[in-house]
Structure 1
Amino acid sequence: MANDILLAAQGLTKSFGALRVLHDITFDVRGGEVLGILGPNGAGKTTLFNLVSGDIRVDGGELVFAGDRLVGQPPHRRCQMGIGRTYQIPRPYVGMTTFENLLVAASFGGGKSEAASYARCAEILRHCELADKANRPAGSLTLLDRKRLELARALASGPKLLLLDEIAGGLTDDEGKALVALIRRIRDSGVTIVWIEHVLHALLAVADRIMVLNFGEKIAEGAPDEVINDPEVRRVYMGIET
């Protein structure tokens, strides 16, 4: 699947009552790449993720993942097809251990038994630097480790495509660097990533391409340097008039 189109979106549209949140959004994601998504608050970024993951229904347009139509598929089926997701605010099962959180994701998201998931979950914990916290209650973790757990749970379902929703938000510079290093390792393992992020330097350190949304419309897409230097992007996203 590497370099082939893994996710294709054509003419996506979504409104909530009279409020149009997304209009005619078309883009694709190739296997193995990292697509970054930028835009001011209210641009429609998280709504776009919700359409891909199935959390909300598409009003118009088409979504194709690995050759299969997504529209009409429920969220759990999309997860089983290979779409993993994190959320802006980590919400682990706080009464369970870190390891048990991964087992739930592997069992219900990945469709495997607990026994068949043990080794894989242990490997993911090591990969995400959480092995020494495997038996701690998830509710006791620091913010950085909750973010790592959010990533680890998504990986436990065995995704081909990983949707990251502002995963670096709220972290210190050093914590952000640690998280970026982890995301690079995930990319290098062959997982395709679409990443919404306000922490621009974190996104630029990993993204192959960037797409920018504003008021529900795509205003730019391309190589990171080209997009960041686009006059319209600088005006809308950075408040810089050129």
Structure 2
Amino acid sequence: MSMTETWSNTFALNIFNLKEKVVVITGGNGTLGAAYAQAFALHGAKVVVTARNMSTLEETVASVRRVGGDCVAIASDVTDPIGVQSLVEKIDADFGQIDILINNAGMAFRAAAEEMPADKFNQVMQVNVTGTLIPCQAFGRYFMQQGHGKIVNTSSVRGFSGHPDGYTAYAASKAAVDNLTKQLATEWAFKGRDAGFNINVNAIAPTLVKSPLTQEICEDPVRIAPFLARLPMGRVAETRDMIGAVLFLSAPASNFMNGQTLYVDGGCTAG
């Protein structure tokens, strides 16, 4: 078998190498944020976790350091453009590079569609959509100057299909994240061809993930039934189910993936 001229044994052996990469995780104080932080650190990356609440961020830092990882916390609000720009500048000053942005911050508010308060709908859109756009903009500008970078946004199967349990705001926000991901990937890919930079923008889309925030649903036979009915694998996701997709989209293995939403959903969107 002949290989193309771009084939490299070294590249093939290092397609999941994340050593010395500087990774920024928004929503780093949540269950998934903490799991991502530990996973990246175990792979040799330098991790920065950020959220509004510094005390809960310190819990993530401690959990990462317990496994021998390198992690620091910086308080920041993803909906504040000035604050996020300051975050980028501080990380650059401290580390001299930024390689990967994981947009993990988000929120949900459930209510019947006909009763969804407009202020709550707007709040969910502000955190999930604007709170994805603003970090993408700030870190995207940095990546353009640096010449490269990877962004992994957080979508959901709710961005693909509805659900009977009051997800009007959440579903709308995640559909917007899907298309924001495509737009940024497309626009920056074309711009980067001329300007000499490469930014990969992709997203992961989980189904319901078991965590303290979803415990109420997972332990209620009535509320969990519609979820399980749509999950061919017969269970909701565990935290560990999400890690592989995030590492993949952050590593050289996914260099030719751009603008994609990767469903990690136990077959939910397949049938």
Give the number of the structure whose residues are more often helix, by fraction. 2
TM-score by length of 1: 0.37
Give the number of the structure whose residues are more often strand, by fraction. 1
Ranked by relative contact order (alpha carbons within 8 Å, sequence separation 6 or more), the top structure is 1
TM-score by length of 2: 0.34
Larger of the two Rg values belongs to structure: 2
